[in-house]
Structure 1
């Protein structure tokens, strides 16, 4: 499990995109699981948790699109 001391969405997105599955912990945001290079939305997610998952997954999609265009 990787721990991030600060919420840096781009850094988290690059980490998640680079690995197939695992878990990350973001200080002040909580514990997140990911699979297939995307964060997984838990069933009992709070609004802050949902916002974080959506933001990071959007960054991952943008990173993948930029890699395809280059």
Structure 2
């Protein structure tokens, strides 16, 4: 199992600062690659101008603190 498959909730994080950019609003399921694609596709659909931002971001599991803040 991968790091994302076990996550309760995932989101996009900025590579340089590790700042949480967005929380994926749906249940993430599948392999890590499938989850990464689903989150990236979702974010791009929401913000069509976000192509550059997506290049500098990665999909990551939310921390417990972030989970509590995003309930």
TM-score normalized by the length of structure 1: 0.30
Q: Which has the higher contact order (CA 8 A, sep 6+)?
A: 2
Larger proportion of strand: 1
Larger proportion of helix: 1
